Amino acid sequence: MSKTAFLFAGQGAQSVGMGKDLAEAFPTARGLFDDARRVLGYDLPSICFEGPEPALTQTENAQPGIFLVSWVAMRLLQERVPSLQPDATAGLSLGEFTALAAAGAMSFEEGLTVTRLRGRFMQEACEATQGGMAAVIGLEEGPCREVCEATGVTLANLNCPGQIVISGAVERIPAAVEAAKARGAKKAIPLAVAGAYHSPLMASAQPRLAEALAGIRFQDPRVPVVSNVTALPHGAAGSISGVLVDQVTSSVRWEAGMRHLLAQGFTRFIELGPGTALTGFLRRIDKSAQAFNVCDVASLEETVQALGRNG
């Protein structure tokens, strides 16, 4: 029997129109989008469906928007394949909140509310600092870590072999990019982002996020939920909040987390929500793993058919 992990996207996966065809096609989706309007008190679904893009890109809309569309995708897949239950979950940065909700550690309503607050706090931290990020392609972790130490930036995302994101003060990013190229990176490209995510420059968001998380009555996850900070499953309910606060300034150890699941015998991974970045990372980590995604009606149908063929 294959073991299945549900994967959930992080910020950057958003795109105008996400979730719209799901809402038009399925009553369950329409109901969840209506629930989101009620919980948040504003029309987030319309921002997801129609934009404008600058509004969707705002962190306090992008984060709950991705959470919402990812949740809808999961619910629709399980509606179509009632026997499908994850044996573990994981999510990239923001997606870790979706993964925890999917595992029953918090409710849909709590996840939606706290991701909006997290987005707001992180946006304000970005505005209070001058931060930037860059993608480094074709350089392994050791040399990239040396580049960071030499130039005063941080490893933000360890996504998959040969793809790392660095983060830090905006004036230090050009030197880090040039140093990475000098060490043999195939490419090193500054990213168009609001700030230095997953670096010490985000620290001002942490106490406010901790206060928001204190209002959530976390439950023990029903299945393992891989932490970005440790690349291992979260512990009991009482430890979850602290790890999520640490995550704001810690490196996202995505590749290590996926390797943990692979070592535990997971062979099937389903990415739920906008984009296909996590599927791409997985194929770079282990080409033999089965990878599916659900982001719209077409991909839902394809995944349902594939699961039917593969059992």
Using DSSP, state whether 201 is helix, strand or coil: helix
Question: 206-213 and 237-247 are packed helices; what angle lies between their axes, rounded to 10 degrees?
Answer: 160
Catalytic site includes residue 93: yes
d(CA 30, CA 32): 6
Output the CA torsion sign for 18, 24, 27, 32: positive
Q: End-to-end CA distance of the chain, in Å? A: 9
Residues contacting 139, CB < 8 A, separation 6+: 147, 162, 164, 180, 183, 184, 185, 186, 188
Contact status, residue 96 vs residue 225, Cβ threshold 8 Å = yes
- What is the three-class DSSP state of 218? coil
Active-site residue, from 70, 93, 199, 227: 93
Per DSSP, the three-state class of 73 is helix
* Distance (Å, whole) CA 248 – CA 194: 15
Q: Which of 46, 70, 83, 198 is catalytic?
A: 198
Number of H helices, E strands in the chain: 14, 9
Task: Name the one residue in this structure whose structure tokens are 């230090």.
Answer: 172
Phi, psi of 51 (to 5 degrees): 75, -145
Q: How far apart are CA 157 and CA 251, in angstroms?
A: 6
Residue 249 corresponds to which amino acid?
T
Write out the catalytic residue numbers: 93, 198
